[in-house]
Amino acid sequence: MTGVISQDVMARSATTTPSPQIRSAVPEVAKLIDESKCIGCKACQVACMNWNDLRDDVGDNVGVYDNPADLTASSWTVMKFYEVEPKAGSLEWLIRKDGCMHCEDPGCLKACPSPGAIVKHANGIVDFVSENCIGCGYCVKGCPFDVPRISQKDNKAYKCTLCSDRVGVGLEPACVKTCPTGAISFGTKADMVSYGEKRSGELKERGFQNAGLYNPQGVGGTHVMYVLKHADQPELVGLPNNPSISPLVSLWKGIAKPLAVAGMIGAVVASFFHYVKVGPIEEKSEDKNDEKEKA
Amino acid sequence: MTNSWTDIKNADLVLVMGGNAAEAHPCGFKWVVEAQQQRKAKLIAVDPRFTRSAAVADYYAPIRVGTDIAFLGGVINYLLSTGKIHLDYVKLNTDATFLTKEGFGFDNGFFSGYNVEKRSYDKSSWGYQLGEDGFVKVDDSLENPLCVFQRMKKHYSRYTPELVSRITGTPKDRFITICEMLAGTSATNKVMTICYALGWTQHSVGSQNIRTMAMIQLLLGNMGRPGGGINALRGHANVQGITDMCAYSEVLSGYLSSPTEADVDRTTYLASRTGKPLRPNQMTFTQNFPKWFTSLSKAYYGNAATVDNGFAYDWFPKRDGAYDVLAMFERMHQGKMNGFICQGFNPLAAVPNKKKLSAALAKLKYLVVMDPLETETSEFWKNYGALNDVDSSKMQTEVFRFPTSCFAEEAGSFTNSSRVITWKEKAVDPPGEAKTDTEIMARLFQKLRAMYSKDGGSLPEPVAALTWPYLNANFPTAVELLREINGKALADVVAPPDPKNPTAPPTVLVKAGEQLPGFAMLRDDGSTSCGNWIYSGCFSQAGNLTARRDNSDPTGLGVFANWGFAWPANRRIIYNRASADKDGKPWDPSRKYLAWNGTSWAGGADVPDMRPDAAPEQGVGAFIMNPEGVARLHAVGMNEGPFPEHYEPFETPVGVNLMCPTNAKAVSNPAARVYKGDLEAFGKKEEFPYAATTYRLTEHFHYWSKHSRSNAITQPAAFVEIGEELAKEKGIKQGDKVKVRSNRGEVIAACVVTKRIKALDVDGKKVHHVGIPIHWGFKGVTQNGYLANSLTPFVGDANSQTPEFKAFLVNIEKV
């Protein structure tokens, strides 16, 4: 659980009680990652593992600079390197800091069946509350960005917390603090959108005509955003073009869930009438025992 | 750096070449990013690989390893043939107008005076013509064919874009584009900076790589100016401090050339190092050499250094030959060394040709390793399978390991690339029995001195008479040492007599016992002591100025004058007089750094690198350390020629120097030192067809950080990099294990197959590169790996002897 107290919890997985409404002055926050300033030094990875007391296994080289090669339960952010040629002969080495996007409409939270295992705070941070996690992996299926990872050690799901413990006491996330080139900024969502648009404009001036802000509306916008050199092709850096929550999750939480609830209520009602009309179901254990003995 | 990290933000154009600043200097690189965003500066990366720097650059060009002089010589030719130079600056601040000797020449790969047998030059035909007045003859019109400008123009006219492209493999159009971008900074309101590092130094022509760029910066008028300069990005947090404090044999502290056998007495020694002006009115700051050296002698020997004994000159060691790292290991390899104290140094990993080093270490009687970590060197005798396949039973060397404190476990200072000395306090105690390096050395010294006083010896004085003024003789504190380095007055330091009133009582400038305010107070009469003249002023009566943490920047030019202390004299940009024109007005009013206000140079953004009252009309040059007063385009001090010339690496994938294809003796640097046995160990392109280079990764620091789990996670195992085309030829796929061989050894590692290394067209032939990061070994928490310098050649730069780690030949195959 994080340092944020419950009045800040705006949404809670598998919970029907209404969220607290008393706090009206909590600003929404966002982290902005400027791809054009990132040199892939991985200082953010080290800051993340140090602040969060995580140490992944020392792996091996599998033929790329990415290490660990992907997000894991102990690596909540990793640098992804993409050698691309958007135009023939124009090599670019795009480097993207991968991790949780902290969606405004979080698929993980929607998918989670365990009450209070995933919460969304008033400031926009989506956080996993590990003691409530049952390790079912629905959050993995629910995430349009393939972020949560289930630990082999304790069978719980983990991902970036956006340093909710730091943010809760007025600090920036550890990765933001450590970034040597200023590629990662942190502030209110409004400020970050505005700065991201300014940076996109500057990149256009520099010749990246399709530079832009990645703040996908399919998930209601995100609290981790990117300034991309080629915002028209986010898939160049492994980002979905129009991310949305999996239809299966929508089905589960949207249509299927009321149906299931209706089904359950129906079953209760049916058994009540059955009881009234037919009376209690009588156990026939003695008969079974007799049969066993005979056998 | 002539300038500073924070000054990079003032640049309009940043060239990253001979280095990979984003990779190796990620923190300092923020100022490049700042310049890109705030000034709309452009960033150019030139490198055999498309690097992390290239990833954020505006323009990139590939280049074959070891051909930087061909590239930069081509730039000089472009600038001179198109006239896109800052002519007023060149006339004011360089030796372009100076006349050279008639006998000087260059023919087919050799400058005049070459001796093939000795592999060295008689330099008597190089240099300037002196007039009867003792000053250099000049031609202000720049038309005399003997003037440096015309000599240079002729020399570099051979570096045509076509030939440059044939040698370097850089596509001609990319080369020309870069020439045009650089040439744009010849305008008075445009400035370029260059960030380089080991990618230029670690070559057999390393010093000349840097000189060629310095010449370009002079031609463009970019030296001494905010946003300009020649900027060597240093690696270790304190490697600048190491060179400043003389951790190598050619110099004493503060770059004072150390005595050689030829310097038979103090007078001879001082005479050959004390500057005399080569042009009228020049400051020739080296005329103060006797003051610096005498004050250093007093710091060493205190009261034992007297006028009568020539301030203990006889006790200084006199060089009888080379003592650079290659020379040391050559001696060791020849069995001429008994013992070796290896302090904060992992030579088995850090010096070329591991096989030779290992054999050399095995010939020692004893080896002492002082290090916070278990280094490979300290276990050179232990068998680690293929990674260190030695027979321990045949090793006689006794090895002592002294655990030392790490940087955070001791107080002291770092001197960074910007020459800024920054104080730090101890954060934690060192673990276990680890002690600071200072304490270990102090205790060792006490023992040695006791032995000398008990047993005597042929010359005990250099040790016995050393001054040791520390409160605890076994533990000199960092504060005591920095105070000693700064220097103090041993007697009252008085002002020279006033010519107007010669009988007036002398003015006392510094009282006896006080810390000196700066090197201007140093005297050669024994009244001052100073451990390093360039650091003088860092710990004055005002206290420890290196501990200052004022990050205000009133001019907005990134000066930060009250943050730490920059040598010399807290000056943040050296040669900064050159930021103003001949009348003392800034070349670019929007970056006003200092200006002549009618009576003084003071009051600008920085400490003036000029006598404060030297009016512009006196013509005092901005390059005050040179007797010329100006910067050298023609430098006699260089061992392979006064103008940089392209020579191939000692292992060349081309086999011929296209600048002089008929001269087989000038394929590689004709003045570089090659030891017997090492020549035979050079590989040939027929057997080793690929150009290889070693480098560092941002996730690691040399061979230390492999002991740190966090670093190990982010880059866990050794790899080599090749381009897709070579991978296809060799049937190598992403992540395959490959064996890379040179004529000296081999490494096996995972293969990164990348689009970022492309085959280059060199003189019609395809040259592939193999990239070899260096960080792995057989100690630490990363996956164990081969030491990369199993592959590298044992040859160095002809001036500095820095090994040629950046260009050699290998073959590669799938394991």
Interface of A with B in 98-137 (CB under 8 A): none
Cβ <8 Å between B713 and A65: no
- Among B707, B706, B705, B238, residue whose Cα is nearest residue B437: B238
Chain B hits for A55, Cβ within 8 Å: 709-710, 713
Say what the alpha-carbon torsion angle B162, B163, B168, B169 is, to the nearest 10 degrees: 40
What mean pLDDT do residues B9-37 have? Answer: 97
* B580 CB burial (10 A radius; 0-12, 13-18, 19+): buried
pLDDT in tens, B305-342: 999 999 999 999 999 999 999 999 999 999 999 999 99
Which residues in chain B are closer than 8 Å to A228, comparing Cβ atoms? none
Nearest residue of A to residue B714 by CA position? A67
User: Average pLDDT over chain B, rounded to whole?
Assistant: 97
Q: Which residue of A has its CA nearest to B712?
A: A58
Chain A CB contacts of B755 under 8 Å are 83, 85, 91
Each residue's pLDDT tens digit, B533-557: 999 999 999 999 999 999 999 999 9
Nearest to B776 by CA among B434, B354, B358, B451: B354
B34 Cα distance to chain centroid:
26
* Strand B765-767 relative to strand B690-695, pairing: unpaired
DSSP string for A202-237: HHHHTT-TT-EEE--GGGT-BSEEEEETTTT-GGGG
Pairing mode of beta strands B543-544, B493-494: unpaired
Which candidate in A181, A205, A229 is best for mutational testing of the B interface (most B CBs within 10 A)? Answer: A181
List, in sequence order, every beta strand (DSSP E) within A126-229. 126-128, 149-150, 157-158, 184-188, 212-214, 224-228
Residues of B in contact with A183 (CB under 8 A): 33
Question: What gap in Å lies between CA B755 and CA B575, rounded to an integer?
Answer: 42
The residue-averaged pLDDT of B126-140 equals: 97
Of B26, B58, B781, the CB nearest to A41: B26
Cα–Cα distance measured from residue B777 to residue B793, given in angstroms and rounded to the nearest whole number:
18
Pull the structure tokens for residue A171: 């600090």
Angstrom distance (rounded) from CA B24 to CA B417: 13
Chain A: closest CA distance from residue B583 (Å): 37
Q: Which residues of A touch B25 (CB under 8 A)?
A: none
Chain A residues whose CB is inside 8 A of the B60 CB are 91
pLDDT higher than threshold 80 for residue B247: no
Span B715-741, average pLDDT: 98
In the prediction, which pLDDT does A39 show? 97
Is residue B247 helix, strand or coil? coil
List Cα–Cα distances, A277 to A264, A265, A266, in angstroms. 20, 18, 16
Res B76 pLDDT > 90: yes
The beta-strand segments (E) located in B141-208 are 192-196
Query: What does the pLDDT look like over A89-105, one tens digit per residue?
Result: 789 999 999 999 999 99
Nearest to A91 among B27, B713, B755 (CB): B755
> Rounded to a whole number, what is the distance in Å from the CA of A194 to chain B's nearest CA?
16
d(CA B641, CA B653): 24
Q: B814 at the A interface (CB within 8 A)?
A: no
pLDDT tens figures, A194-252: 999 999 999 999 999 999 999 999 999 999 999 999 999 999 999 999 999 988 777 76
A227 close to B (CB below 8 A): no
Would you call A70 an interface residue with chain B, using a CB distance cutoff of 8 Å?
Answer: no
* Reported confidence tier of residue B126, pLDDT bands at 50, 70, 90: very high
Residue B334 in 3-state DSSP? coil
In this predicted structure, the answer to whether residue A7 has a pLDDT above a threshold of 90 is no
Q: Does A58 touch chain B (CB under 8 A)?
A: yes
Cβ neighbours of B54 in A, within 8 Å: 93
By the CB < 8 Å criterion, does A202 face chain B? Answer: yes
User: Does B56 sit within 8 Å of A37, measured CB to CB?
Assistant: yes
B237 within 8 A of B243, measured Cβ to Cβ: no
Shortest CA distance from A35: residue in chain B: B56
pLDDT per residue as tens digits for the range B351-409 = 999 999 999 999 999 999 999 999 999 999 999 999 999 999 999 999 999 999 999 99
Chain B 58-97, CB below 8 Å of chain A: which residues? 58, 60
Partners of A187 in beta bridges: A30
Least confident of A259-263, B343-347, B432-436, B762-766: A259-263
Dist. CA B688–CA A147, nearest whole Å: 45
The residue type at B86: H
Contact B29 A39 (CB under 8 A): yes
CB contact under 8 A, B713 and A75: yes
Residues listed for chain A: 295
The rounded percent of chain B whose pLDDT value lies above 90 is 96
Q: Which of B14, B20, B29, B713 to mutate to test the interface with A (most CBs of A within 10 A)?
A: B713
Among residues B508, B781, B652, B569, the alpha carbon closest in space to that of B64 is found at B652
Q: Does A77 touch chain B (CB under 8 A)?
A: no
Assess whether pLDDT exceeds 80 at residue B802. yes
Helix (H) or strand (E) holding A97: strand A92-98
Q: Which residue of chain A is at minimal alpha-carbon distance from B30?
A: A181
Contacts of B749 in chain A (CB under 8 A): 61
Give residue A2's pLDDT. 46
Instruction: For residue B620, give both structure tokens.
Output: 């005092």
Give the tokens for residue A136. 């079912």
Q: Report the run of H or E that residue B59 belongs to, with start and end.
A: strand B59-61
Listing DSSP states for B785-811 in one string gives ---GGGS--S-B-TTT--B--S-EEEE
Can you count the helices (H) and strands (E) in chain A? 9, 11
Q: At what angle do helices B354-361 and B325-333 cross, to 10 degrees?
A: 60
User: How far does A71 lie from chain B, in Å, by closest CA?
Assistant: 12
pLDDT band at B674 (very low <50, low <70, confident <90, very high): very high
- Which residue in chain A has the smallest CA separation from B700? A41
**Closest residue, chain A, to B62 (C-alpha):** A91
Q: Test A46 with B711 for CB contact under 8 angstroms.
A: yes
Q: How many beta-carbon pairs under 8 angstroms link A with B? A: 124
Whose tokens are 């249509």? That residue is: A255
Nearest to B49 by CA among B772, B808, B794, B749: B772
Res A295 pLDDT > 70: no
**To which residue do tokens 């590989």 refer?**
B683
Distances B462 to B230, B265, B305, B456, B476 between C-alpha atoms, Å: 39, 16, 11, 12, 19
pTM of the predicted model, to two decimals?
A: 0.94
Identify whether the C-beta of residue B203 lies closer than 8 Å to the C-beta of residue B209: yes
pLDDT band at A294 (very low <50, low <70, confident <90, very high): very low
What pLDDT does residue A261 have? Answer: 65
Give residue-wise pLDDT tens across range B631-669: 999 999 999 999 999 999 999 999 999 999 999 999 999
- pLDDT exceeds 50 at position A293: no
Distance separating alpha carbons of residues B36 and B53, to the nearest angstrom: 13
Tell me the CA distances in angstroms from B327 to B412, B661, B674, one per residue in order.
Answer: 31, 31, 10
Question: B residues 643-672 near A, CB within 8 Å?
Answer: none
3-state secondary structure of B602: coil
Longest Cα–Cα distance in chain B: 89
B440 touches chain A (CB under 8 A): no
The encoded tokens of residue B280 equal: 């009228």
For residue B717, which residues of chain A lie inside 8 Å, CB to CB? Answer: 59-61
Is the CB of residue B719 less than 8 Å away from at least one CB of chain A? yes
Q: Give the contacts of B599 (CB within 8 A, at least 6 positions apart).
A: B613
- pLDDT given for residue A87 in this prediction: 83
Say yes or no: B782 contacts chain A, CB-CB below 8 A: yes
Instruction: For chain B, positions 485-514, list CB contacts with chain A under 8 A.
Output: none
B180 to chain A, closest Cα gap in Å: 18
Q: Which residue of B has its CA nearest to A90?
A: B60
The residue of chain A with its CA nearest to that of B60 is A91
- Pairwise CB contact (< 8 Å): B749 & A61: yes
